[in-house]
Every structure is written in structure tokens, then in C-alpha cells.
Copies of this chain bind each other. A is one copy, B any other.
């Protein structure tokens, strides 16, 4: 029998998972800003599903750290403090450094090839200053890194970590000056990986994250002096 690709797209599984994905996307895209309260009934109307599915999806997002639920007050999009940002970046540097090292050690053929493509795609997007393409390229790059390291636990943790960090980058977009540095840093990382230099890969990953952290936390602290409370009132009427 020829190996036909008869994948039937296996229904996105359950409704709950669909809701979960939609909400997660809405949050990381900034359509629900940090601090925004998520009222169950509103979400029911927005999504067209019952409270059951909404509530269970929220639990998942809570576990991922994207939403914060205080009992009897309901869920809201997590607001990240400077201290938490510091902690998040510390762990991210640790894990990405490890991922880089393992990627360099294992050097899986397919992912090495993908890495080259992704880096070039990122460089192109950076040159064109195309925000959408940039985000897509960066996402692809990270996906390759996480596949390449061969550690499912790291992959999952980095994914949620990345989402959480995106939360604090929403309000303040990364500086344009940082972009050129980013490209060169990423080239360095990729070079270390393809040559199989684990130490260099880890070091360059950590350096990359550390620099990103400095910028992000600086902006965040500057912001936190003017605490722009979103949705202080009951309804924020974003429509």
C-alpha cells in the first residue's frame, strides 16, 4: 500500500480545547490587555459556548500563568510585575541555554536545515521592518529550537514561558535599535549550533536572553511608575 497521507484532521478534538486556543491567542495577541477582567458570561457570548467549557479552558490558562483567578472575583489577564519579569527571564535564559546546548550536541538533520531557513527568514523580516512577518519568523525560530533540543519537557515549559513573557511585551514594543543586535545574536547562536559547539550555543543563548531582559525590564519599571490600571471600573467596553 502506498503511504497516502490520509490524515483526516482529526476534529480539533473537543470544544474546550478550541476555546482554550482562542482565548490564549486573544491574550497573547493583546486583544485582552493585562489586568482585563474576563467575565464568564461575556466570554460565553463572545464564543458561543456554555459556561462549562469556558470555565475549564480558564483553568488551563490559569495553570499556564496567563490568567490569574482570585476566588469569588473571577479571572483576569495576569499582570506581570518587574520582579516576576526578572524571574521569568532568568528561567528562560536557563532553559534556552540548555536547549541551544542540546541542539548543538544532537544536531538533528532536519532541524538544522530548518534552523538555517528560519534565521534567514528572520533576517529578512528584520530588514523589512515588517512587524507581522517578524513575529512569525521569531515564532518559527523558537519552534525549531525547541524541536531541535529533543526534550519535550523543555519544549513545553519554554512555550508557556514564552507566552507569559509576551504578556509583558504587549504594552511596550521592543525598541527598533534592539532589532539589529537581535539578528546578529541569533546568527551567532545558529552558527554555534551548526558547528556543534555546545558551550558557545548555550552562552550565546543566555546572552541573547539577558540582553532582551535588560530592555524589557527597564521599560516595565519605567511603566510601573505610572500604573495604568486597565479596567478599574466594572465594564471596560472595548467594543
Residues on A facing B (Cβ under 8 Å): 13-14, 17, 52, 55-56, 59-60, 62-64, 71-72, 83-84, 87-88, 90-91, 94-95, 98, 151-154, 157
How many copies of this chain does the complex contain?
Answer: 2
Chain B residues whose C-beta falls within 8 Å of the C-beta of A59 in the assembled complex: 56, 59-60, 63
Query: Which residues of chain B have C-beta atoms less than 8 A from A14's C-beta?
Result: 71-72
**Given A60-B63, A63-B60, A91 and B151 touching (CB < 8 A)?**
yes
A10 to B88, CA, bound (A): 28
Complex Cα distance, B71 from A17, in Å, reads 10
The residue from B62, B64, B84 contacting A153, defined by CB atoms under 8 A apart: B84
Give A33 Cβ to nearest chain B Cβ, in Å.
22
- One of B56, B72, B98, B157 near A56 (C-beta < 8 A): B56
Which of B52, B62, B154 has a CB less than 8 Å from the CB of A87? B154
Docked Cα-Cα span, A84 to B55, in Å, equals 30
Contact B90 A13 (CB under 8 A): no
Please give the distance in Å from A38's CB to the nearest CB on chain B. 15
Bound CA span A106–B204, Å: 25
The CA-CA distance from A66 to B151 in the complex, in Å, is 18
- The answer to whether residues A152 and B87 also contact, given A13-B71, A157-B157 and a CB cut-off of 8 A, is yes
Inter-chain contacts of A63 with B (CB < 8 A): 59-60, 63-64
| 23 residue pairs from A and B, CB less than 8 Å apart | A13-B71, A14-B71, A52-B52, A55-B56, A59-B59, A60-B62, A60-B63, A63-B64, A83-B152, A84-B153, A87-B153, A87-B154, A90-B151, A90-B153, A90-B154, A91-B95, A91-B98, A91-B151, A91-B153, A91-B157, A94-B94, A94-B95, A157-B157
Contacts of A152 in B (CB 8 A): 83-84, 87
A52 to chain B, nearest CB (A): 8
> Known: A63-B64, A64-B63, A71-B14. Contact between A154 and B91, CB under 8 A?
yes
Q: A14-B71, A90-B151 are in contact. List 16 more A-B contacts (CB 8 A).
A: A13-B71, A14-B72, A17-B71, A52-B52, A55-B56, A59-B59, A63-B63, A63-B64, A83-B152, A87-B151, A90-B154, A91-B95, A91-B157, A94-B94, A94-B95, A94-B98
